[in-house]
Structure 1
């Protein structure tokens, strides 16, 4: 029996050696983390005592003062059936922004996702499908390269330039003010990163919960310190906005390829590439606390910080199964630790090197933390044994040492206490005290996940022989339930045929011979093949709304005042009635969900729409909102009736024909191909703040651009060193 005790004692001596080694490594890592803690809190105290005493915090209303620049959202999609539609719906109904487009990257061997995206594109005019050149799954970087190439082609067709390029996943829930914030900063910053906060699941779901804990601390503290000290911000791959200058630099750097297709963490890679080019990067924690919300630092009921819990951020569900979490984290570890070491060598900037070390130490600390937990459980078991057995073996005496060991363990205890306190604080400020308390046991579960992920990462690298050969492993995410999805749009011509209004032969003739500058429905009405009401019925069925007969010239002026002129002209709608708080507007064509949501935000009330017969909105806009009226067709018709030259029924028929043949200027411009729908929307947003007609505005912009581009002789002479007075002398001399 004694031999077993000797063996166990030998094991304990070995355990002591391991424990001491781990304690030293934990001390080094703990002191490293303490540096970040100290810098964060000193910086926070200094800013509170100086910056925020002399300067007011930027109010969210300031974001509305910048005109909306075109922004492109890039979304890679592999096996994302039924997700893209929900994302587009959520964006349309929640984003307080209108001038954006979503480009979805799909694969040729993923027909289900392609079909789903096609339906979304038919309903949302600002969603565009991209089909990658290679079958999937490729890397996320490869998909993004295909998406970016399509965006640049789209810019040429639409005659516009995107100011910012935003990375998102299909499952992301985007904050209402995200695009406003990007729009505000993108002229001055080249990489803008928002914090990411995972959604909470049940309290017992420790796997998804540990993501909450890690992101809350890293995006609440660590990245802020990194930006302040090193000026470098790693992109999170979601909620990241790149300026046009940054994207063009990445394309030039990669000979037309912006994202490294061999990198499993292309987002992390880009942050360093832009930093080496001297570009400006920022991590933004911008709280949006609106009127009526509590402005106290903390809400006692939940323990949340009102400001911190209302930052503009990205929300999404993270994996809640152990296997999925290990797969995802092993990909992160390979990309950041092992590929990062190969791709990003140590630099001459010691501050940046320090954060490179912090990124890479995970390859060691993931093992150390888990092994330390295992040792701790064993020591706890030994302590329980000695507490329960009065005269048992004093196994813990083996772990006794001199003052140095006591000091080492005491220091680690203090550092561990600080580590837990920091974690609880940052989790609580966003999620509340309950989640903050749960972050303590989740800390140990997270250590196990990170340990297993590290083991898997090393195994994959050994199997492939090179970290850059490891294949991309997409992580499946959940998406919040939003309710019933919108149906796909049917072509207008097919609806008219199905309704028996026109024949297949007439449709074929119309598609071939319709007049330039007119849409299909307008041409059919102009040719007398269908009536304006028949067109309204078909358009209403296509849009999934009702249609109504209305005389827009007889509307109540008080109702007209409910919709400002600039909005009526921009969206080509007129208010026709109120249903409670909801304003019902009439339109001659489909109004996309983004525009309806934007109109509701601008009016600060719910808005719905119905289809009205062709021409009614056009003549109504001219009557109620036209800035310059060239003639009054109704008065001319009434004068003819009064003079006895026309009967009332004939006048009514003539009026209906006249109205049905009226066409909006924007429709003609689009149908002629002079402006893409996307470019037209961007123009209308700029036109909304002017008093000019749309035609005059377009001419004015062209003339201003001409002046800017061609320059003047005055400016050329000044650049040559001839001042204004000298320039005047030259003019006087030349006239003598």
Structure 2
């Protein structure tokens, strides 16, 4: 048996394996698309024809206005935390809120940066042990600080809002949470990454993924009755809900050993049969601006791989072990989608290896080598179906990215699909290796930057779509 025959056989088997897997994933994605468009049509015909649309700037006052507590865990954030706090205070103005910022005893630069912001609404919370521990552990220390502040001041927070040290908050965010946490135990706003002109490919692929996931995926997730996982920023948890989480976990609402505590918290709230809500709401009538959380995402390959590895390890690997499979059909379906990352990476590797083998064999045949490049009718049929579904998937990505960032970014999103695939494969490799060692033990954060020109970032917010 010749080497060429063996390679041809291997390429065909890998291609068949990848084609079957891609078909199943593509059909799964297509069902999400159909639900999304059916929901939009139904709301247009049955809801908005009878009731006026809601707008963030004209929401009715909350039934019981309350103080909002904001948690910002910080480790090695001296480069951004002062600018973020000043921006947040300026954007939120004189609202009733308190910001709790956690820092570690061995991080004096972050402590000094927090101290530059002289405002009684900002409380620096010392984590006495040397950091980093985990982000969830730092959040638990902030929860303890909230309890102490409530006891000192004889007040009870209405809700807890989560943000990171690099976030650009929306001016109407707290007012929206004040209203919406009366309707749901957990509220998540869209997260819209800021484009980085210095990293159009690595950082840019986050723009593509969030434009689609927070423009469509979470909408469908809520529509099928599944819990809304938190993104860790731009989200709020009602005070009584977080108290139940704490009571269920020895006084700590956040799972200290979990690397994706935000994702897990959303599912845990949903498991209590509490309502979780994804709110994508325009600011005013006639405007395409929506209330959202914005910020820069990793701009280098190494940073992106480390971040994606933490997400994949926490959701697809550790999350499977920690949360298992529960809830109704919609909940189980969405958990399956959340956990398909490692299998998707395996399919991508198989597909790319098959392509490389076929390319080498094609070159060899062109040079006169006795190579037969015949594919089975089954494989050819699968490839044709997958090509059509891939074109649809590219169109969906292009449409959502264009709606959010304009046609320039929409066009870039097409080749950035390959960039995202490479990052995903490298991230799965790292996630599996870390999981085999028991998972990461400390906070694997990436270097953050705050928008250099906040005014321009604000102008970009005004161009966001209603969705």
Aligned mate of 1:26, from 2, 22, 25: 22
Matched ranges for 1:392-407 at <5 A: 392=368, 395=371, 397-402=372-377, 404-407=378-381
Question: Is 1:113 matched with 2:110?
Answer: yes
Aligned residue pairs: how many? 453
Q: Deviations over 1:653-692 (max 9, x none)?
A: xxxxxxxxxxxxxxxxxxxxxxxxxxxxxxxxxxxxxxxx
Q: Whose RCO is larger (CA < 8 A, sep 6+)?
A: 2
Matched ranges for 1:575-590 at <5 A: none
Counterparts of 2:128 and 2:298, CA distance in 1: 29
Match of 2:449 in 1: 478
CA contact under 8 A between 1:103 and 1:127: conserved in structure 2? yes
Aligned mate of 2:342, from 336, 358, 363: 363
Question: Is 1:87 matched with 2:84?
Answer: yes
Question: Is 1:72 matched with 2:47?
Answer: no
Question: Over alpha carbons, which structure has the higher Rg?
Answer: 1
Question: Secondary structure, in 3 states, of the residue corresponding to 2:161?
Answer: strand
Counterparts of 2:308 and 2:242, CA distance in 1: 27
Counterparts of 1:134 and 1:204, CA distance in 2: 36
Counterparts of 1:183 and 1:214, CA distance in 2: 29
Match of 1:544 in 2: none
Gaps of 5+ in 1: 296-305, 484-736
Scaled by the length of structure 1, what TM-score is found? 0.59
Question: Secondary structure, in 3 states, of the residue corresponding to 2:116?
Answer: helix
- CA RMSD of the aligned region, Å? 2.1
Counterparts of 2:418 and 2:107, CA distance in 1: 39
CA contact under 8 A between 1:88 and 1:124: conserved in structure 2? no
Q: Deviations over 1:367-425 (max 9, x none)?
A: 21244244335545666787xx5x84585x534212x3332111111111111111111
Counterparts of 1:207 and 1:357, CA distance in 2: 26
Q: Deviations over 1:45-93 (max 9, x none)?
A: 1111221111110133333633752111100011111422211211122
Question: Is 1:187 matched with 2:182?
Answer: yes
Match of 2:462 in 1: none
CA contact under 8 A between 1:233 and 1:283: conserved in structure 2? yes
Counterparts of 1:8 and 1:470, CA distance in 2: 47
Q: Deviations over 1:136-195 (max 9, x none)?
A: 100000000001110111111122111010110010000121111111111121100011
Cα 1:375–1:405 shift into 2, 3 Å? closer
Counterparts of 1:153 and 1:482, CA distance in 2: 37
Aligned mate of 2:411, from 410, 431, 437: 437
CA contact under 8 A between 1:370 and 1:447: conserved in structure 2? no
CA contact under 8 A between 1:373 and 1:444: conserved in structure 2? no
Match of 1:242 in 2: 237
Counterparts of 1:210 and 1:382, CA distance in 2: 32
Matched ranges for 1:192-271 at <5 A: 192-202=187-197, 205-271=200-266
Match of 1:134 in 2: 129
CA contact under 8 A between 1:96 and 1:179: conserved in structure 2? no
Counterparts of 1:201 and 1:232, CA distance in 2: 31
Comparing 326-335 and 90-99, the one that deviates more:
90-99
Match of 1:607 in 2: none
Counterparts of 2:394 and 2:213, CA distance in 1: 14
Counterparts of 1:357 and 1:102, CA distance in 2: 36
Counterparts of 1:83 and 1:435, CA distance in 2: 26
Counterparts of 2:396 and 2:369, CA distance in 1: 38
Scaled by the length of structure 2, what TM-score is found? 0.92
Counterparts of 2:350 and 2:168, CA distance in 1: 37
Gaps of 5+ in 2: 455-467
Cα 1:70–1:401 shift into 2, 3 Å? same
Match of 1:316 in 2: 295
